[in-house]
């Protein structure tokens, strides 16, 4: 779905209500947790956010608020969508002066303790999405070396006919999203660290 103007909350609500009744557009549900399926393009972005549990907690809070999508040209709606399987979210992207509205459903959540502590989720595409596939967003804290990482894994292929014709352009957009989302998380965690330092 696309629009020359940013869609209103009423339009987005109606869009998601319709999409929530529809099946995912791919078969390998959950494959972003292991081995992506053959026939899809795989993207992987991984960046170190900092060190320590406070950094990890800040990163988890950012994911819960969908702030890793607050990029100026991309956003998630609604921003209070619960991080739990079955939740449906709209991803809005403004490219070339137009708003593209895509629908996704969370297919699994990640909340692990152990040698590496992890939090995150993966969502899959619904029919109202220009692509077909799955994307996983995870933050990790390794108490062994105290490092905190933000990790994105996605497998996708074009779903919308127009996108098939403009696939090189789509690939640039996908790579830009990975870079911008990583930069946003670094900035968000850094801001939280600065605020905590000022409050000491």
Half-sphere exposure of 13 (CA within 13 A, CB side): 3
| Among candidate residues 91, 109, 86, 88, the one with its CA nearest the CA of residue 32 | 109
pLDDT for the residue numbered 2 = 75
What are the structure tokens assigned to 137, written together?
A: 């967003």
pLDDT for the residue numbered 200 = 46
For the entire predicted model, the pTM comes to: 0.91
All domains in the chain, ordered by first residue:
2-28+39-199 (3.30.530.20)
Tokens 């339009």 sit on residue? 11
Got the DSSP string for 67-131? GGG-SSSEEEESTT--SSTT-EEEEEEEETTEEEEEEEEEEEEEEE-SSSEEEEEEEEE-TTSSE
Phi, psi torsion values for 4, nearest 5 degrees:
-75, -20
> Residues near 196 by Cβ (< 8 Å), separated by ≥ 6?
54
C-beta of residue 49 within 8 angstroms of C-beta of residue 55: yes
Reading the chain (200 residues) residue by residue, the pLDDT tens digits are 678 789 999 999 999 999 999 999 999 999 999 999 999 999 999 999 999 999 999 999 999 999 999 999 999 999 999 999 999 999 999 987 889 899 999 999 999 998 999 999 999 999 989 899 999 999 999 999 999 999 999 999 987 766 667 677 778 889 999 999 999 999 999 865 655 555 54
């Amino acid at each position: 779905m696309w629009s020359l103007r940013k869609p209103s909350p009423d339009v987005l609500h109606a869009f998601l209500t319709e999409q929530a009744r529809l099946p995912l557009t791919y078969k390998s549900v959950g494959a972003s947790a292991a081995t992506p399926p053959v026939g899809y393009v795989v993207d992987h972005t991984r960046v170190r956010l900092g060190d320590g549990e406070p950094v990890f907690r800040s990163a988890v809070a950012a994911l819960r608020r969908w702030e890793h999508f607050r990029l100026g040209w991309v956003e998630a709606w609604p921003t209070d969508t619960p991080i739990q399987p079955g939740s449906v979210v709209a991803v809005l992207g403004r490219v070339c002066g137009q708003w593209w509205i895509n629908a996704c459903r969370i297919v699994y959540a990640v909340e692990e303790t152990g040698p590496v502590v992890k939090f995150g989720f993966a969502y899959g595409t619904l029919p109202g999405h220009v692509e077909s596939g799955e994307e996983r967003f995870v933050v990790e804290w390794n108490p062994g070396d105290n490092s905190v990482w933000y990790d994105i894994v996605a497998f996708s292929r074009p779903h919308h006919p127009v996108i098939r014709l403009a696939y090189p352009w789509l690939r640039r957009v996908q790579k830009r999203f990975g870079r911008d989302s990583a930069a946003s998380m670094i900035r968000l965690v850094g801001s939280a660290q600065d605020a905590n330092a000022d409050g000491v």
